[in-house]
A and B are shown apart, each in its own frame.
Chain A
Amino acid sequence: MEVGTGLYLMGLALAVGLGLPLAVIGAGLGQGRAVAGAMEGMARQPEMAGRIQTGMIIGLAFIESLVLFSFVIFFLLQGRLPTVSGQ
């Protein structure tokens, strides 16, 4: 195998393996902050809980969609990985 091909496959494998977890870490931190803020708001003003919850769910969906974009890219990249016949 050529060096270039090897480097390409290595980069591809790293991207497939690390891309999604990195996105998940970022989105997890972001969603944590969002939910913390919403909970604080609900605790301070229980009468607004319904509207805060609606807003929180929309915000969470927006943050989550970023992960899902990288999930789609993960699937596109995964299809380009060669299969290795075992042992």
Chain B
Amino acid sequence: MDGQLNALWVWTQTGIGAHVPPPVFSVLSGIATLALLLFALAATRNMQRRPGRLQNLAEITYEFFDNLAVSVVGEHGRKYVPLAGTVFLFILFSNLMGLIPPGIAPTASLNTTIALALIVIVYVQYEGIRARGLGGYLKHFARWGEVPVLLSPLLFVIEIVSELAKPVSLSIRLYANMFGKEQVTMALITALAMPIFKATFIPLPIQFPVMLLGLLVAFVQAFVFSILTLIYLALATEHHEEHHGEHAHAH
């Protein structure tokens, strides 16, 4: 009885970070996707010239990412707004799901974050090949023409390794932030809040400051993930942009 009570208490307060089977995270990601889909449908159905509340929220979000993409990637960055914005909204919504007591953040599982990072990185490679062509894409890795010829093979290897490190650092950064928040919350509850509750029957919310910090982290990490998406896209397609600039100059 005591053990069950403990487990129930921890569950209702944190949604337990540690021993959740992976399918739960998949279902939660599905719920987040569905909620975002409903939001998008509700915001764009029956659009008005003078926007209502939902449409206004959607427009503000889109304009924010439009400005961000243009300032980071340049004028051709407009077409990356849907990807960066969707990634931001999905991660933000997932992170916030972890703050409502019986919920778990889907992003507190490495499976979810690796999936997100792979989507982003594969798209970045695709855009890089499309902007430069396959030859230019490989030359960019070797910094061909920018460094002495003998250094190029070495740089090629280094660039490949750093390209492979991108999805790893993207996914682990998000996962460790969310997982860490849930672990600290749970540690505070089991080590402090629970003994106090059992001794005095006063449910003190000792984990509250950590959850406030979690609210901040939820926004910052979602923003960081999407802006890094834009930066990687900018790095992969920058040559293309340069060319464009020269072209415009010539006219």
* Contact code string A47-70 (vs B, CB < 8 Å = 1, else 0): 000010010011001001100110
Are B177 and A68 within 8 A (Cβ)? yes
Are A58 and B228 within 8 A (Cβ)? yes
Tell me, in angstroms, the Cα distance from A69 to B223 when the chains sit together.
20
Residues of chain A within 8 A (CB-CB) of B169 are: 65
Are B71 and A58 within 8 A (Cβ)? no
Number of cross-chain contacts by CB at 8 Å: 33
Are B172 and A68 within 8 A (Cβ)? yes
Are A71 and B176 within 8 A (Cβ)? yes
Return the contact of A68 from the options B176, B220, B223, B231 (Cβ within 8 A): B176
How near does chain A come to B221, taking the closest CB pair, in angstroms? 8
Instruction: Please name the residue on chain A nearest to B72 by beta carbon.
Output: A54
Are B71 and A51 within 8 A (Cβ)? yes
How near does chain A come to B69, taking the closest CB pair, in angstroms? 12
Interface size on A, residues (CB 8 A): 12
Tell me, in angstroms, the Cα distance from A23 to B169 when the chains sit together.
16
Are B224 and A69 within 8 A (Cβ)? no
Residues of chain A within 8 A (CB-CB) of B224 are: 57-58, 61
Flag whether B10 is at the interface (Cβ < 8 A): no
* Contact code string B180-197 (vs A, CB < 8 Å = 1, else 0): 100100000000000000
Instruction: Please name the residue on chain A nearest to B224 by beta carbon.
Output: A61
Instruction: Please name the residue on chain B nearest to A68 by beta carbon.
Output: B176
Tell me, in angstroms, the Cα distance from A64 to B183 when the chains sit together.
17
B202-251 interface with A by 8 A CB criterion: 220-221, 223-224, 227-228, 231
Instruction: Please name the residue on chain A nearest to B217 by beta carbon.
Output: A64
Report if A58-B231 is in contact (Cβ < 8 Å); known contacts: A51-B71, A65-B169: yes
Tell me, in angstroms, the Cα distance from A65 to B173 when the chains sit together.
5
Of the A-B pairs whose beta carbons lie under 8 Å apart in the complex, a sample of 17, sorted by A's number, is A51-B71, A57-B220, A57-B223, A57-B224, A57-B227, A58-B227, A58-B228, A58-B231, A61-B220, A61-B221, A65-B169, A65-B172, A65-B176, A68-B172, A69-B172, A71-B180, A72-B175
Residues in chain A within 8 A of chain B (CB atoms): 51, 54, 57-58, 61, 64-65, 68-69, 71-72, 75
Residues in chain B within 8 A of chain A (CB atoms): 71, 169, 172-173, 175-177, 180, 183, 220-221, 223-224, 227-228, 231
Report the 5 A-B pairs with minimum CB-CB distance, sorted nearest first. A68-B176, A65-B173, A61-B224, A71-B176, A72-B176
